[in-house]
Amino acid sequence: MADEAPVKSKVFTLASGPGAKVTPEPMTLVIFGASGDLARRKLVPAVYGLWQDGQLPPLFSLVAFARHPKSDEAFRGEMREAVAKFSRGRTVDAKAWEAFAERVHYRVGDYDDPAAFRALGAQLDRQAAEEHRPANALFYLATPPQTFPLVVRRLGEAGLSRAGAQAPPWSRLVIEKPFGSDLSSARALNEEVLRVFDERQVFRIDHYLGKETVQNILVLRFANSIFEPIWNQKYVDHVQITVAESGGVEQRGPYYDHAGALRDIVQNHMMQLVCLVAMESPLSLAADAVRDEKAKVLRALRPIPAACVPEGLVRAQYAAAEARGKRVRGYLEEDGVAPGSVTETYVAMKVLIDNWRWAGVPFYLRTGKRLAARLTEIAIHFKPIPQVLFGAPGRGPVEPNVLAMRIQSNEGITLRFQVNVPGPAMQIEPFQMDFGYAEVFERAAPEAYERLLLDAALGEPTLFTRGDEIEAAWTFLQPILDGVRQCPVRRLPSYPAGSWGPAEADALLEADGRRWSLVRRPAKTA
């Protein structure tokens, strides 16, 4: 008898739901800051990937706007090398690249030059007229954050925002993080942007939300009736969220020394993960319905007064050590880092959500650079069983059940539960039931930037952060930043590069009778 084939369900994604478009309307993507590292490593390879997969319209063009003089041919050559190096497992198909490259143009301009923006508008209109299509434009700010307000103002002055337009052509704005450096700057940037664009035109990007496994949190919770009834304070003991990076600050020393882990990861990536885990079921998959529920979570976070920050927050820096067979520099030795800097590369903290579902359930967050592995994991730790039967002394206590969602790498879902080992005597041991995306679907997940660029081109805002979400996240973080500033230290605790962080982070959980843990998944083998 032949083996039965495994049953596979349809792959569900928010942008490909009922009634959603598959291919955007004819348009031009304008990347400001196109000579920078983000465009080279992420954006242009993602756009090429969409083009090669047939997900962009035939009448598409890319205008690279930057301050450094360069010809179209020189820029195309640089981008071909970038695509070959950084695209998602693709070889550069000569025919596809030729068709793509002829639609790529380079424009030299200064962000403070109104004439450069008027000339850009004329170019967009001319291209649209030649192709007999509306001059639809998607503007992507891949520039240094301090230039965001300036570029937005210049777009408005040149008439390129088209705010309030009821008919084509349309304009949309994609803004990279960081969106502000504190609450006041985030509010000021929001005000600046919304003076020129309508909220529906603005796409504040957090690439974490483009990861397939992040999107699957909603599917796991709301498409499976076995989880939602126990997804609350009655059954959940605590939640751990780990965002670990094995690399250091690399070439971002000057930026990172100003931002630190609180601004770089906690305010955006980690707050978004908390929202997706903790939110109530939205009334629909409409963008605002989903984002309304996320905003409610952020507003329900229990404030941490500035005076309490030194006791409930662990900040640390990685120190020089031997890691993976070679010496790794400490943070204070990195290029661009100020001598004696007290900027954190590691953060651990406890967060409480004051609502009916999560009352009393701590969310433990940790993130850091130069840790033992690169991974992002959300672990739901359920309450232990009572001290009767298998929980009583002699057989117990047994390890509680854990549901772990691995966002990166080796993406998947693992459920840990107890089983009896076969034999004459009862012996209870934990077992892990594992689901891996790569093994089941036998294909690599699309890059986050591919998904997000496509959604922005389609005008689908679900996976982007709304203005009130940004401000709510900063409202929670601002007293923590104030507490750090009001209680300065001369030196932060350190942890060896290649470790899992400082002892102070372990003590944070031990004070509550808990410990950090990761639910390991076996790596895929050939």
Active site residues: 269
In Å, how far are 27, 104, 394 from 58, measured between CA atoms? 9, 13, 69
Instruction: Please give the structure tokens belonging to residue 15.
Output: 């942008």
In Å, how far are 290, 394, 499 from 496, measured between CA atoms? 40, 39, 6
Q: Any idea what DSSP says for residue 360?
A: T
Rg of the chain over CA atoms, in angstroms? 25
In this structure, how many other beta carbons lie within 10 angstroms of the beta carbon of residue 111? Answer: 20
Strand partners, 318: 495
Measured CA to CA, the distance from residue 342 to residue 366 in angstroms comes to 18
Which of these, 206, 177, 215, 278, lies nearest to 411 by C-alpha position? 215
Q: Hey, what amino acid is at 113?
A: D
Q: Any idea what DSSP says for residue 3?
A: P
Measured CA to CA, the distance from residue 514 to residue 96 in angstroms comes to 54
Sequence-separated contacts (24+) of 392-396 with Cβ below 8 Å = 395/426, 395/428, 396/428
Phi, psi (5° rounding) for residue 205? -95, 135
Measured CA to CA, the distance from residue 518 to residue 402 in angstroms comes to 10
Cβ atoms of 474 and 301 within 8 Å: the answer is: no
Q: Where are the beta strands (DSSP E) in 324-411?
A: 326-328, 346-351, 363-368, 375-382, 402-408
Which of these, 212, 113, 112, lies nearest to 455 by C-alpha position? 212
